[in-house]
Amino acid sequence: MTDPIQHLKEAGHLDRFFIDGSWRAPKGREKAPVVDPATEAVVAQVPLGNAADVDDAVLAARRAFPAWSETPAPERAACLGRIHKLILERLDLIAHALMTEMGAPITYARQTQVPLAAEHIRVARDNLADFPFVSKRGTTAIMKEPIGVCALITPWNWPLYQITAKVGPALAAGCTVVLKPSELSPLSALLFAEIVEEAGCPPGVFNLVNGSGPVVGEALAAHDDVDMVSITGSTRAGVLVAQAAAPTVKRVAQELGGKSPNIVLPDADLDRCVPLGVAAAMRNLGQSCSAPTRMLVPRARLAEVEALARMAVAEFVVGAPTDEATTHGAIANRAQYERVQIMIETGIAEGARLVAGGPGRPEGLAAGLFARPTVFSDVRRDMAIAREEIFGPVLAILPYDTVEEAIAIANDTVYGLGAHVHGTDMDEVRRVASQIRAGQVHLNAPAWDPQAPFGGYKRSGNGREYGPEGMEEYLETKAILGYYSEA
């Protein structure tokens, strides 16, 4: 079966939460619609949790923590291995869930969204095998111990990918978790809970409560028995979570907004780097916090860049996510679609030059949340489209006169999540990369590296995900002096 809604209905899980190893009815009666963005049809209703549901889930996680934290690492790794295997076995079912709940093209969901999500679990499993939980420093033992019960709050734009990026290292570290996925994309999260159940993780180690940020998210952040919150979302949401968590002085890890630059150096191969830069900016329809949506190019080569960008956009196929030829599907929800349209209109009003795309739907699409991949040029650094996170398929091309000016423009943002640099002289490429205030910098479009730590400077958040650093976020450091005899 590839219909996720029918599958969840038949399993009896669509209207349930996963708490303490079983599927439970919610305490409240409020529900939220699941909307297919390609048709704007309501395809399901899911329950929204409340504070009582949060209490149940946190209590289950608290009870499970002592045993799970002391479970030998090989046993925790084996559980993660089973989760990894089951994700890949159910790839097509999960891909259809992503297509339904957020408009991802079925080919993109199959080839990118689900496989990369599975990689986070594999990496967590593999890193656990040789992670230094105890190290020696003179006669002192430095111990890394699981922090406790972790609340994981994930967004709608990469639903499963962001879940596994948190759950994998948290479970590997020996923590127990309560997951609150986005209420806008709950289907893939429910399928993941089924996988955890089938993988045989002990009851209470993983719990899922659907709900809104103001209710479930805030209850988790403020809860006395939650030791840590990890949130991926908007900067606004991250601030609210940090404020709710502050009275209990718990750790808060935040992966938030971005306005990432892509510096094209004067010696760069434009035929290669411009199409790659356009594709990166509009990957997942630009609904990625690290999308390089500001392309900084030498003023003398602006016309060449514009022509190449226009040709790159012309290769995109915007259409029904069910069509395997579609490269870009629908914007994930109505609020985000309207935000994208407003920002495109703003760019035009500000005087930026439209190179490709524009407002409205692509030709031939009369319904659904479909946006035109849009490129602006002659963008000034003070324009809204150069400063605000749009979270859609909108690229701003900003000309520069010197490389030092390009670096200054790249850093002229409240964000600092990601960046890209393209050039032929690698010494210069590395020098420029070292000057950018961002948590992750890509040089000449390298392959994705699941071991590369990911996180932001400034208002893009704090803490890191992926790789060993991602596991360390879920660990406390204990120093035991005199642990080793001087003799």
Catalytic machinery residues: 255, 289
Dihedral angle, C-alpha 297, 300, 302, 308, nearest 10 °: -90
Tokens found for residue 406: 């390009």
Q: What is the DSSP code (8-state) at residue 483?
A: -
Residue 361, Cβ neighbours under 10 Å: how many?
17
* Angle formed at CA 387 by CA 411 and CA 421, multiple of 5 degrees: 40
Q: Report helix, strand or coil for 372.
A: coil
d(CA 174, CA 80): 12
- Per DSSP, the residues of 160-211 read HHHHHHHHHHHHHHT-EEEEE--TTS-HHHHHHHHHHHHHTPPTTSEEE---
- Per DSSP, the residues of 381-396 read TTSHHHHS---SSEEE
Longest dimension (CA), the chain: 80
First to last CA, the chain: 65
CA–centroid distance for 56 within its chain:
27
Q: Are 256 and 234 in contact (CB under 8 A)?
A: yes
Strand pairing report for 134-137 and 140-146: antiparallel
The helix-helix angle for 73-89 and 91-102 (nearest 10°) equals 70
Residue 307, Cβ neighbours under 10 Å: how many?
13
Residue 314, Cβ neighbours under 10 Å: how many?
9
Which stretches does DSSP call E strand in 233-268? 251-255, 261-264
d(CA 69, CA 65): 6
Tell the residue number behind the tokens 């919610």, with chain if given: 26
Q: CA 398 → CA 182, 353, 379, 384, distances in Å?
A: 34, 11, 5, 13
> What type of residue is 14?
L
d(CA 257, CA 252): 16
Count each helix (H run) and each strand (E run) in the chain, helices first.
17, 22
